[in-house]
């Protein structure tokens, strides 16, 4: 569906939002059939399902593409919730996680009536359940930096500060997590059943890029400057 949408867009047939939505729904059906449950490994997948439903509906309704940030954002958060307590050896209450999931779902629903900006509170609230700080490996550094920037980005959005707050969320939070969890840990772990320890410099470099581009708005992506 996604490939067909890209090819049609090249010839000026703009159906990609609808085809992408179908693609997301197919992925969602797999999660619903095999990935949901109350175990610690499956409960965080509820966040991914919420992101899938929200992003797909947003595309079908023709809303700004930034609404669909909910899918990768909540997917990354669900991975953090599964990985971090085990890696840093601490427990998280299932009840607290359930409350976080309910609040996240409410904010996604509220975004349809207010603005996609309300979604940015979800990464900021993550510290309520993942509140450990660690600098022992690339993920520990990346997670600590990302959660801090998630809070800063969310606060700056709602205080209308003169920085590109959304860029801090998209790159400072999501980009750092993808660069410190998925790249060095999850993908090699799936493909090779082991992972190579990357330099923490990668996560720090991504965070610095996010901060610098957020401060100097004129070099940020013009795609969403007018929206915010």
Q: Give how far the C-alpha of residue 178 lies from the chain's centroid of Cα atoms, to the nearest Å.
A: 9
* C-alpha–C-alpha distance, residues 186 and 177, integer Å: 11
Half-sphere exposure of 112 (CA within 13 A, CB side): 14
Half-sphere exposure of 222 (CA within 13 A, CB side): 1
Residue 223: predicted pLDDT: 46
Banded pLDDT at 133 (limits 50, 70, 90): confident
Tokens representing residue 50 in the block? 């919420």
pLDDT one-digit tens code per residue, 18-71 = 777 777 777 777 777 776 767 777 788 889 889 988 888 887 787 887 888 888
Whether the pTM exceeds 0.85: the reply is no
Q: Which of 164, 126, 167 is nearest to 143 (CA)?
A: 126
Banded pLDDT at 224 (limits 50, 70, 90): very low
Tokens representing residue 65 in the block? 């593409």
- Pairs from 213-222 (Cβ < 8 Å, separation ≥ 24): 213/164, 213/167, 213/171, 214/153, 214/163, 214/164, 214/165, 214/167, 214/168, 214/172, 215/163, 215/164, 217/162, 217/163, 217/164, 220/164, 220/167, 221/167
């Amino acid at each position: 569906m996604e490939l067909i949408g890209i090819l049609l867009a090249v010839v000026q047939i703009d159906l990609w939002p609808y085809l992408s939505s179908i693609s997301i729904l197919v992925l969602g059906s797999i999660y619903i059939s095999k990935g949901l449950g109350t175990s610690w490994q499956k409960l965080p997948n509820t966040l991914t399902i919420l992101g899938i439903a929200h992003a797909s509906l947003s595309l079908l309704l023709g809303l700004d593409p930034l609404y669909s940030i909910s899918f990768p954002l909540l997917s990354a958060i669900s991975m953090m919730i599964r990985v971090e307590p085990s890696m840093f050896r601490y427990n998280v209450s299932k009840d607290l996680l359930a409350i976080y999931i309910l609040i996240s779902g409410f904010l996604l629903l509220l975004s349809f009536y207010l603005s996609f900006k309300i979604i940015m509170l979800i990464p900021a609230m993550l510290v309520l359940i993942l509140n450990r700080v660690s600098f022992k490996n690339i993920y520990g550094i990346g997670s600590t930096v990302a959660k801090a920037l998630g809070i800063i980005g969310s606060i700056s959005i709602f205080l209308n500060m003169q920085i590109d707050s959304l860029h801090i969320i998209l790159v400072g939070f999501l980009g750092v997590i993808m660069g410190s969890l998925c790249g060095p840990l999850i993908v090699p772990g799936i493909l090779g059943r082991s992972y190579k320890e990357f330099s923490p410099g990668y996560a720090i470099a991504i965070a610095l890029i996010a901060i610098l581009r957020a401060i100097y708005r004129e070099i940020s992506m013009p795609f969403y400057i007018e929206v915010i």
